[in-house]
Chain A
């Protein structure tokens, strides 16, 4: 069982804004950067947010990240059908001396 938790699902209609939470502890999110990955069905994950709130080149500015205390969030605004995917947060855990992924959130575009 992961020490970093996400809601199992989130949904919205096209054009809406969806927010995914990532909840951890002082030893992981509270003291390290958070990264977000998008995994489309049948494909390898893709980095969409690094260092809490930075977007890699090529990732639309509809994707944004934030972090406060021991929680982080990924927001997708102007939701599009191609955003339908699984999303994972990730961060280093100082207590475990290992990297932890969140439990994952499936985003559905209604």
Chain B
């Protein structure tokens, strides 16, 4: 069965960096586009970034453009999110999700369980 498992969350100081990972299994990872989405405590969902199946095309939300970098390693069935210059506003649960269609659209048919990132001194 399809599984997405995020890891790498934790406590980081303001201005610091963190790298999140998402391990995929149960499907041919290299056939699918992937996305990162986050949810601040008590708040709604926020789309962050999308990467196509090969890693050649990426999209970012304005709120993270220039600070976050999405990447993937199809040989390792893994998705990554490198997060730099973190601020308190980045405190959230971070989810990876599989996008069922080629172009970014919102067709997230599978989600991970999420990993919590807390930015605090």
Contact in complex: B62, A99 (CB < 8 Å): no
B45 touching A45 by the CB < 8 A rule?
yes
Other contacts beyond A101-B44, A101-B45: 4, CB < 8 A: A45-B45, A90-B106, A100-B47, A104-B44
> Which interface class (under 10, 10 to 19, 20 to 34, 35 or more) fits B?
20 to 34
Residues on A facing B (Cβ under 8 Å): 2, 32-35, 37, 39, 44-47, 50-51, 56, 86, 88, 90-92, 96-104
Q: In chain A, what residue has the closest Cβ to B46?
A: A101
- Nearest chain A CB to B107 CB, angstrom units: 6
Is B72 located at the chain interface by the 8 A CB criterion? no
Determine whether the beta carbon of A92 is less than 8 Å from that of B104: yes
A35 contacts which chain B residues (CB < 8 A)? Answer: 105-108
Q: Which residue of A lies closest to B60 (CB)?
A: A98
| Contact between chains at B114 and A98 (CB < 8 Å) | no
Write the nearest CB–CB distance from B37 to chain A, whole angstroms.
8
B61 located at the interface, meaning its Cβ lies under 8 Å from any Cβ of chain A in the complex? yes
